[in-house]
Chain A
Amino acid sequence: MNFTPDPFLLFKRIRNVSLSLTLFVLIVVLVLFLGTSAICLVVTSKLSLEEAHRTTERTMFETRRMLDSKFDRIEYATRSAAMLTDDLITSDPKSGYKILRHLMQSCPDVKVCGILFREYYYPSMGKEYTPEMKVDPETGDYVPFDASPGFKYIDVDENWIFSSQGENYWSNAYADRFHEGKKLICFSTPMYDRKGELVGVLCSAIGLDWLYDLVESIKPDENSHYAIINDVDQFICASYPGLVDAPSAKELVMAAEDTTYRVLWTKMMNGETGYITFEDTDNDFVQYMPFQRCGWRLAFSYPFESIVARGKILARRLAMIFMLSFLLIALILFAGILAIVKPFSKKLEKATREQAGTESELRIAANIQQEMIPSVFPAFPDHKELDIFAVLKPAKLVGGDIYDFFISNGKLFFCLGDVSGKSIPASIFMAMVKSLFRNVSHHRDDPGQIALEMNREIAPNNPNCMFCTFFVGVLDLSTGDLLFCNAGHNAPAAITASGEVKFIKVDVDTPIGAFEDSEYTTQHAEMNNRDILLLYTDGVTEAENDSKKLFGEKNLLNSLSSRADSAHNVKGIVEKVIEDVHAHAGEAEQSDDITMLAIQYFKINQNNRI
């Protein structure tokens, strides 16, 4: 026997199933999480980009607001001071310093201020007279001084040109000789006397250093760059040191390799509002906006790296959350499944052992059953007058069909039967029938008597009313005389030497085991030379195919006919029937035991025997 049951196989399978289930759930979680993370990252980077644009825009509005506020203060102080002209300006050329002091006191933002008097306002001071005042950077005192020598402004200075015509005017940036050469911008407003005649132009200049502090404090990202240029292409303020000293922005953008700078510059100079992305380099974007009050254009860059960095932070956090969740889920699943499986595993193990044991025992029983029936063919090589062949194919491991034969005193005793029911009960009953057949036929050679005695043994102690349809025969090998008894079994088929195929007409008695008082009759037939007798169980004729159609007696006769030729022999005929039954059943499961016993008789002249 090759069958070695592994009692732990089922248990192992269950564990494998738990493991597979855990892995499956974890993979699903992994996929879901990766998918969610990817969506999160995409959405976040989109939101981050939008947020960066909004922040930058807010920064520019804030810059403009603060510039406005500063410029308002200066304009207000300057224009207020100019209104004091009539009160403070006297025939004394130094009277102008009173206004300048007043102006500086009212607005500390002003670093330098001065009055450009109209031509020959003080004839003693010449054509152009410019009293100015500045703050001593060390003492903080106001220092008045005469800036007139060498300073020509009539028809030259932009503040003079516009404000002498009555305008309030913000100048371009210029380097002032009295302000350490640093860049200044200057607001100017006209001064009138009570007659409404122009006295001069009052100028307030402020440096640009404060712009850096302002922009640095509110720039959208710590790595943002910025630049403010005015409408005559001067740099007012730039985050790159040295850029402010460049003569013009245009020269720089024309020299740059990335043409995006040129597009940006053009749009800024056109006074447009918008943003541009530097795709060639690192996806930084620059947002720009005009500050119309003094013709400035603001530009702030936003580094793409910062947006990516935000995504990276999110990705790191997601990864950490994921790792923790994953470990947690794995632990819970593992613990959960262990807790569920453990109580069952012991039962399963036991059940598996038992099942394996039962199956193993059933196989042993099947082997014993097979050993009980003669299965070596040719069975009687020394008896030339006889050829015999049989098969028994149980539907389950063990079955209730039986055949047997032996030769005693020149006679062949044979039987074939079918126990009611299937599997183990039928197989036990079958063993009993087979054993009784041997016992009884050792002292009886009349089939009716054999059946009768067997029935008397079995029937009285048979509470379940099991029975066995049984055909028993005794063939005299020297004469071919056949005595038989049919206890409820199918009529056997015969194939004569001439090829005729038929069912033998037989009387039917009650199956063995059913009733204690059954009577059995012995019938007689004669076998001629080369005649074949075929006994079979209803597993042959009632073999079903998938559509429940039976093989039937007609098909059986056809099978036999196809082999009923001059060369017919028992093995060939039985195998042909088996082949045809299988062809009929197809894929359908074998529902009943299939058993056949074929006997061919050869009449040998006694005189010729050795």
Chain B
Amino acid sequence: MTTEVREIDGVLTAFLNGRLDTFSSQQCREDLEPLFANAGKKLVLDCANLEFISSSGLRVFVELVKKVGEEHGELSLQNLNDDVHNIFVIAGFAKRFNI
């Protein structure tokens, strides 16, 4: 699992790569620190290469979306594959995120 954060056209974008599970969620949380620090801005999570997300991984997303909500920023999830999208739907998070 790797997480790369880049600024594209003034939008802070994180590219998630691999399996976001219990073992990698802690690292991912640390890697996403730039997004947490700029929660009041426009943020993008690019999930094109995200293969899987576990409940621990969802927790990181929840934490981020709550922070963004508090600071009136804007977070969108892009390019989710069907499996990952399905996890969001099953877990009842689909309507909480801008997918």
Q: Which residues of A contact B (CB under 8 A)?
A: 418-422, 464-467, 469, 486-488, 490-491, 508-511, 514-515
B54 to chain A, nearest CB (A): 8
Give complex CA distance A421, B29 in Å: 14
B94 to chain A, nearest CB (A): 8
Contact between B96 and A508 (Cβ–Cβ < 8 Å)?
A: no
20 A-B pairs within 8 Å (CB atoms) are namely: A418-B55, A420-B56, A421-B55, A421-B59, A465-B59, A465-B60, A465-B62, A465-B63, A466-B59, A487-B92, A488-B91, A488-B92, A491-B90, A508-B89, A508-B91, A508-B92, A511-B91, A511-B92, A514-B62, A515-B66
Hey, which chain B residues are within 8 Å of A508, CB to CB? 89-92, 94
A-B pair count, CB < 8 Å, reads: 55
Contact between B66 and A510 (Cβ–Cβ < 8 Å)?
A: no
Give complex CA distance A469, B58 in Å: 11
Tally of chain B residues near chain A (CB < 8 A): 18
Contact between A509 and B92 (Cβ–Cβ < 8 Å)?
A: yes
Give complex CA distance A422, B21 in Å: 11
Beyond A465-B62, A514-B96, whether A490 also contacts B56 by CB under 8 A is no
Contact between A510 and B22 (Cβ–Cβ < 8 Å)?
A: no
Hey, which chain B residues are within 8 Å of A420, CB to CB? 54-56, 58-59
| Contact indicator per residue, chain B 27-70, by CB within 8 Å of chain A (1) or not (0) | 00000000000000000000000000011101110110010000
Contact between A515 and B96 (Cβ–Cβ < 8 Å)?
A: yes
Beyond A464-B59, A515-B62, whether A469 also contacts B96 by CB under 8 A is no
Q: Does B15 contact A (CB under 8 A)?
A: no
Give the interface centre of B54, B56, B92, B95 by most chain A CB atoms within 10 Å.
B92
Contact between B93 and A464 (Cβ–Cβ < 8 Å)?
A: no
Give complex CA distance A510, B93 in Å: 6
Contact between B93 and A511 (Cβ–Cβ < 8 Å)?
A: yes
SS class, residues of chain B in contact with chain A? helix
Give complex CA distance A403, B7 in Å: 45
B89 to chain A, nearest CB (A): 7
Q: Which residues of B contact A (CB under 8 A)?
A: 22, 54-56, 58-60, 62-63, 66, 89-96
Hey, which chain A residues are within 8 Å of B66, CB to CB? 465, 515
Contact between A422 and B22 (Cβ–Cβ < 8 Å)?
A: yes
A506 to chain B, nearest CB (A): 10
Give complex CA distance A469, B88 in Å: 12
Contact between B22 and A467 (Cβ–Cβ < 8 Å)?
A: no
Hey, which chain A residues are within 8 Å of B22, CB to CB? 421-422
Hey, which chain A residues are within 8 Å of B95, CB to CB? 510
Give complex CA distance A422, B63 in Å: 18
B55 to chain A, nearest CB (A): 4
Contact between B89 and A467 (Cβ–Cβ < 8 Å)?
A: no
Contact between A467 and B62 (Cβ–Cβ < 8 Å)?
A: yes
Contact between B92 and A486 (Cβ–Cβ < 8 Å)?
A: yes
Contact between B63 and A464 (Cβ–Cβ < 8 Å)?
A: yes
Give complex CA distance A467, B94 in Å: 15
Hey, which chain B residues are within 8 Å of A510, CB to CB? 92-93, 95-96
Give complex CA distance A491, B86 in Å: 13
B51 to chain A, nearest CB (A): 11
